[in-house]
């Protein structure tokens, strides 16, 4: 939404080549203060190069104004993405097995879609093993206005994760009902604003979280991630069958860690081969891609920069 549409621009004064504006933030301690003070002058000078100076003054909304704002942007459905008319395509990335690269796949898929010009949201549903904030380089907490969460955005992707509300080394010790409620809040209390795509990073296994996601997002498609190894393929297969039983549509399979290409240009298939293709055939879906083992992919993930953006070739 634009600042004018949200009634946040309260005053504009022009004195020759100098401009001053008054912006009403939602709350006094809004973490976006510095953002507005940097971006508004840059935008105005880009549009009107003759402007010499822009002063941005900040105030905050009254309680009544804040309630009116929330009422204007709140989703009108308890499960906005579950509506038949929702324009959002939901893609859940899962596997029965941990450590196969679900989060890496999720991050790079989301960044790729945003790079193509789509609006994208990313829900980190791996409450116990969250890693999306580190992989996206997001360290600030989401802005919360009343009971609505405004997700931080990085590389054009809006991101929500339990990792944004706790520290990276703090374990989340929750059981089924709390997980269910947390996921419900992430879907209904976050201002996603109906993106073109919502990518969901599922935890390993076929337990509570996967069942809840299937319940909340009955129209979602699912991408299964596996490695070439037969053991991983068999475990990933269970996630595919779980998806079918709960009404999710398996869209395809991605094989990660397919091979390693050494300095001698020789291909080494460290984890065997064929697991992804075998799984795709069992599920009757396409093999969408084979991702090699690449130290750069690991390095960029650890530094919070998706490889599809940093080294697209």
Report the alpha-carbon distance of residue 85 to residue 156 in Å, rounded.
Answer: 24
Give me the pLDDT at residue 113, please.
96
- In the predicted structure, residue 97 carries a pLDDT above the cut 60: yes
CA–CA distance from 240 to each of 118, 227, 307 (Å)?
Answer: 27, 14, 27
Nearest to residue 192, comparing CAs of 217, 146, 157, 155?
Answer: 157
- In the predicted structure, residue 313 carries a pLDDT above the cut 70: yes
The CA-based angle 35-103-216, given to 5 degrees, is 85
Task: Supply φ then ψ for residue 221, to 5 degrees.
Answer: -95, 155
Interval 123-179: pLDDT, tens: 988 877 788 888 998 887 887 877 788 888 899 999 988 888 776 666 665 555 677
Q: Are residues 278 and 285 in contact, defined by beta-carbon separation less than 8 angstroms? A: no
Cβ within 8 Å of residue 3, ≥6 positions away: 9, 23
- In the predicted structure, residue 106 carries a pLDDT above the cut 90: yes
Please tell me the number of Cα atoms within 13 Å of 2 on its side-chain side.
2
Report the alpha-carbon distance of residue 225 to residue 276 in Å, rounded.
Answer: 8
The two structure tokens encoding residue 219: 């129209």
Q: Are residues 220 and 238 in contact, defined by beta-carbon separation less than 8 angstroms? A: no
Q: Are residues 122 and 292 in contact, defined by beta-carbon separation less than 8 angstroms? A: no
Helix boundaries (H) for the chain? 33-47, 63-73, 102-115, 132-136, 176-188, 208-216, 230-245, 275-283, 295-302, 307-310
Interval 242-275: pLDDT, tens: 777 777 788 999 999 999 998 898 999 998 888 8
Could you tell me the pTM of the whole model?
A: 0.72
Q: Are residues 190 and 124 in contact, defined by beta-carbon separation less than 8 angstroms? A: no
Interval 177-187: pLDDT, tens: 677 777 888 88
């Amino acid at each position: 939404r634009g600042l004018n549409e949200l009634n946040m621009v309260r005053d504009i004064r022009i004195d020759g080549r100098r401009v001053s504006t008054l912006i009403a933030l939602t709350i006094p301690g809004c973490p976006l203060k510095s953002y507005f003070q940097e971006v508004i002058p840059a935008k105005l000078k880009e549009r009107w190069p003759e402007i010499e100076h822009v002063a941005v003054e900040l105030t905050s909304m009254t309680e009544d104004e804040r309630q009116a704002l929330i009422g204007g942007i709140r989703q009108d459905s308890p499960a906005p993405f579950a509506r038949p008319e929702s324009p959002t395509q939901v893609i859940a990335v899962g596997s029965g097995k941990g450590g196969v690269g679900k989060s890496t796949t999720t991050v790079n898929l989301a960044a790729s879609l945003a790079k193509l010009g789509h609006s994208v949201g990313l829900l980190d549903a791996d409450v116990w093993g969250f890693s999306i904030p580190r992989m996206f380089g997001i360290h600030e907490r989401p802005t919360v206005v009343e009971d609505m969460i405004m997700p931080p955005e990085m590389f054009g992707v809006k991101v929500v994760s339990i990792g944004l509300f706790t520290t990276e080394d703090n374990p989340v010790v929750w059981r089924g009902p709390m997980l269910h409620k947390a996921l419900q809040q992430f879907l209904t209390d976050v201002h996603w604003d109906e993106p073109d795509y919502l990518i969901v990073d599922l935890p390993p296994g076929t337990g509570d979280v996967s069942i809840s996601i299937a319940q909340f997002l009955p129209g979602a498609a699912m991408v299964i991630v596996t490695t070439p190894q037969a053991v991983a393929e068999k475990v990933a297969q269970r996630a595919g069958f779980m998806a079918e039983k709960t009404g999710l549509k398996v869209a395809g399979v991605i094989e990660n860690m397919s091979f390693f290409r050494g300095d001698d240009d020789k291909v080494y298939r460290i984890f065997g081969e064929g697991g992804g293709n075998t799984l795709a055939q069992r599920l009757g879906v396409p093999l969408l891609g084979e991702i090699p083992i690449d130290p750069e992919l690991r390095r960029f993930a650890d530094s919070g920069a998706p490889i599809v953006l940093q080294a697209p070739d």
